[in-house]
Amino acid sequence: MEEIQIITPEELKKKLEEGEKLELVDVREYEEVEQGMIPGAKHIRMGEIPANLDYFDKDKEYIFICRSSARSGNVCYYLQEQGFKVRNMIGGMLAWPGEVK
């Protein structure tokens, strides 16, 4: 299995502050995202990822986010096997230093 690329919450926050256009996907459950998501992130629950493969574009890189980075890591492995460019935000929302909406 190929290693998953990661991004730290601090690196992600800096990229967003610099205005980079990033594809963020939050894979947490509904009750978790009610507590706040990174602005601009799309919410697709982990269990709904296989049914939403047509949302993803193989020419773009996606950054996946969950509470602690375990579920998003699993999603990254799955999508990488499908040929997508993925990155896992290490530490998840527990480590997110920025604002949420």
Residues involved in catalysis: 66
Q: Both tokens of residue 76?
A: 């990254």
Enumerate the β-bridge partners of residue 62.
23, 86
Residue 75 · residue 59 · CB < 8 Å: no
Query: Any idea which residue has 């992600």 for tokens?
Result: 12
What pairing do the DSSP bridges indicate for beta strands 42-43 and 61-65? unpaired
